[in-house]
Amino acid sequence: MMDFFGRRRRGGLLKPLLSLLLVCASFLMLHRLAERHAALCGPECASFKKGPVRSGWWVSDSSEDPERASNRTPAFWDAQVLNCSEDASVRKKEWFASLDQRFHQFVLHRHCRYFPMIINHPEKCADGEVHLLMVIKSVIEQHDRREAVRRTWGREQTRDGRKIRTLFLLGTPTTGKDTKNLQKLLEYEDRIYKDILQWDFMDTFFNLTLKEVNFLKWFDIFCPTVQFVFKGDDDVFVNTPNLLQLIRFRVEEHKEAQLFVGDTISKAIPIRNRQSKYYIPKELYDQPYPPYVGGGGFLMSSRLARRLLVVSEKLELYPIDDVFLGMCLQRLDVTPEMHPGFRTFGISRHKTSRMNREPCFYRHLIVVHRLSPQELLDMWGSVHHQQLACAQRAAV
Ligand SMILES: *[C@@H]1O[C@H](CO)[C@@H](O)[C@H](O)[C@H]1NC(C)=O
Ligand SMILES: *[C@@H]1O[C@H](CO)[C@@H](O)[C@H](O)[C@H]1NC(C)=O
């Protein structure tokens, strides 16, 4: 709190002015996009004027799977009222006083798992079978990243008869942000694209695990017929055709039921360096980590996603989302598959290496982390350029 007020005073008038300008500029941009969109699709886009779809909606019964259709259970988000006050008993624990301050909020609210939804899309998976659902963690102010993803690898489409759908997962703005305007912009953006899921929890680093568990629950309720889920960050490059090919291979090998593949990290231990973003104090966790997959991007089968939801409810939340999923996988006795096509630390770990900007490598990979929105758009253009001549195999 001290920190926040301290910074505010130094910023003076400039900061609020700048943020107001930014909001105006974003609004104008979105408005222009909306006009273009309306011009493209004409009167059938009338539904586009409706507000964001709220939770409590019933899934249409036209295309449900037979099991659900037979007993006609209405699908709705049931975490409506929430009393997430802090757990006072935690303060009395002897380790609480010595625990690093950064973790106080986390441990005091650790019992709060499911949150009400502010923006929902119960219809996302309802019309026919979705082959692959692309699910992307994003934060409210990074609409430029979402825009780049929609125009590249996250474009909703049907490829060889396989339907691809996209969703962004968001919480609410963190303290000190211009919440009201950001929320208005987000709802506007969602009216255009209908691809935002938003929950009523603050979008902080330690709350990323909430995104994970709320999504698993959402997926279980609203997407009974989806086959595969790709989950990733909004600053990655994904080679969609290669991802689909990987799915085809695993299906041919009958390995799809347990499918969980990405950039697997084995034998890691908690980071004890207090400067690190990933620092975990001993009071919180004092064991080696189970194998887990870097959260930049991974692929899983929907069957496994449903089993993950079941075990996740038996585990206490852990502040690092990738590791939390690793803990769930361990409970299920599933070892995540390591695949060299997933480069969540970049192609070369040397950030300045030219390999990280070489389109021929991107042609052969599946996921590369991390690119700015402009880099993503440029790279997508280069990789898909007919004239790009690459050697048969660009070994990486
Ligand atoms: C929320 O829960 C706390 C303790 O669990 C209780 O003291 C408080 O009255 C509750 N508030 C509401 C609005 O229900
Ligand atoms: C997570 O979000 C909840 C609800 O907004 C908030 O009360 C809590 O402090 C957040 N936790 C962290 C660790 O930021």
Which residues, other chains included, contact 313 with Cβ-Cβ below 8 Å and sequence gap of 6+? Answer: 113, 213
Give tens-digit pLDDT for 102-123: 999 999 999 999 999 999 999 9
Tell me the CA distances in angstroms from 105 to 109, 111, 202, one per residue in order: 6, 11, 11
CB–CB of 238/229 below 8 Å?
Answer: no
283-338 pLDDT, tens digit per residue, is 999 999 999 999 899 999 999 999 999 999 999 999 999 999 999 999 999 999 99
User: According to the model, what pLDDT value does residue 358 have?
Assistant: 86
Rounded-to-integer distance, Cα 261 and Cα 246, Å? 10
Atom of ligand 1 nearest to the CA of 83: 1
Predicted confidence at residue 262, as pLDDT, reads 97
Give the single-character DSSP code of 392.
S
**Euclidean distance between CA atoms 145 and 160, whole angstroms:** 27
Q: Whose CA is nearest to atom 13 of ligand 2?
A: 106
pLDDT of 243: 97
Nearest residue (by CA) to ligand 1, atom 6, is: 85
Task: Return the closest-CA partner of residue 215 out of 305, 98, 334, 101.
Answer: 305
**Is 60 exceeded by the pLDDT of residue 246?**
yes
Q: Which tens digit of pLDDT belongs to each residue from 37-86?
A: 544 444 333 333 333 444 333 333 344 444 444 444 568 998 876 778 99
Helix, strand, coil distribution of the chain in percent, nearest 5: 40, 15, 45
Burial of residue 276, with CB atoms counted within 10 A of its CB: 0-12 exposed, 13-18 middle, 19 or more buried: exposed
Q: Is the minimum distance from the CB of 276 to ligand 1 under 6 angstroms?
A: no
Model pLDDT, residue 42: 40
The CA distance from 269 to 267, in Å, is 7
| 343: helix, strand or coil | strand
Nearest to 278 by CA among 321, 317, 314: 321
CA 92 / ligand 1 centre spacing (Å): 19
Lining residues, ligand 2, CB within 6 Å: 84, 105-106, 109, 201-202, 204, 206-207
